[in-house]
Amino acid sequence: MSTHHLVSSALAIGLLCTGMIAQAKESQQPPPHLQATGVVTQVTPTAIKLKTPFANVTLNVNATERSGFSNLKIGDELTVWMNEDNIVVDVHRKGDQPQHRLITGKLAFSDQAKTQMKLWTPEGMQTFPIKMDEARLHNLKEGTLVTVEIDELGRLMDIHRN
């Protein structure tokens, strides 16, 4: 094999590998959530304290009520999911399995009050009510490619820049 063919083959293999790496990055799933199950140790008018094997977690009462939990009491067992920023993104009673969907698209619009988000997807424009902490939305500009996680009630619970 001549040097020219060897260099051409090496260059072709290199370009192929680079393309495969770029494609893998594009299709990469968001980081997995940390899951922890614990016991409610304290309930106040504004917060619920949960003791897990890893850490003590404080849940906002409003967030748990939006998840369908009212009247939680000491001794109740809950499972929480935390994202890569250690923010609780979902809460369920122990043993319940969430039915989440991941959807990738371009951010089309988030209203000023951060109550809903519109996402342009291959299936067309989709609108989702926002369940998550609005701080994660502040640095995202319209047109940004994102993957959103939608909970079983159709609400945006987490977002990742692609």
Structural domain count, the chain:
2
Query: Whole-model pTM?
Result: 0.61
Q: What is the pLDDT of residues 94-124, one digit of tens each?
A: 888 778 888 999 998 766 777 788 999 888 9
User: Based on the number of CB atoms within 10 Å of its own CB, is 3 exposed (0-12), middle (13-18) or buried (19 or more)?
Assistant: exposed
2 in a domain, yes or no? Answer: no
pLDDT at 145: 93
144 in a domain, yes or no? Answer: yes
Beta-carbon-side half-sphere exposure of residue 16 (alpha carbons within 13 Å): 6
What mean pLDDT comes out for the span 134-146? 81
pLDDT band, very low/low/confident/very high, at 33 (cuts 50, 70, 90): confident
Give the 3-state secondary structure of residue 84.
coil
1 in a domain, yes or no? Answer: no
User: Based on the number of CB atoms within 10 Å of its own CB, is 149 exposed (0-12), middle (13-18) or buried (19 or more)?
Assistant: buried
Q: Do 121 and 103 touch, CB atoms closer than 8 A? A: yes
Boundary (domain end) residue, out of 69, 93, 117: 93
Boundary (domain end) residue, out of 50, 70, 93: 93
Query: Distances from the Cα of 152 to the Cαs of 33, 52, 98, 128, in angstroms?
Result: 16, 24, 7, 12
Q: What is the mean pLDDT of the chain?
A: 76
Task: Return the residue matching tokens 């959103």.
Answer: 148
What mean pLDDT comes out for the span 129-151? 82
User: Are 87 and 105 in a shared domain?
Assistant: no
Residue 106's domain comprises 101-161
49 in a domain, yes or no? Answer: yes
CATH classification at residue 110: 2.40.50.140
13 in a domain, yes or no? Answer: no
User: Are 153 and 115 in a shared domain?
Assistant: yes
User: Are 115 and 157 in a shared domain?
Assistant: yes
Contacts for 58 with CB less than 8 Å, ≥ 6 apart: 47, 48, 49, 50
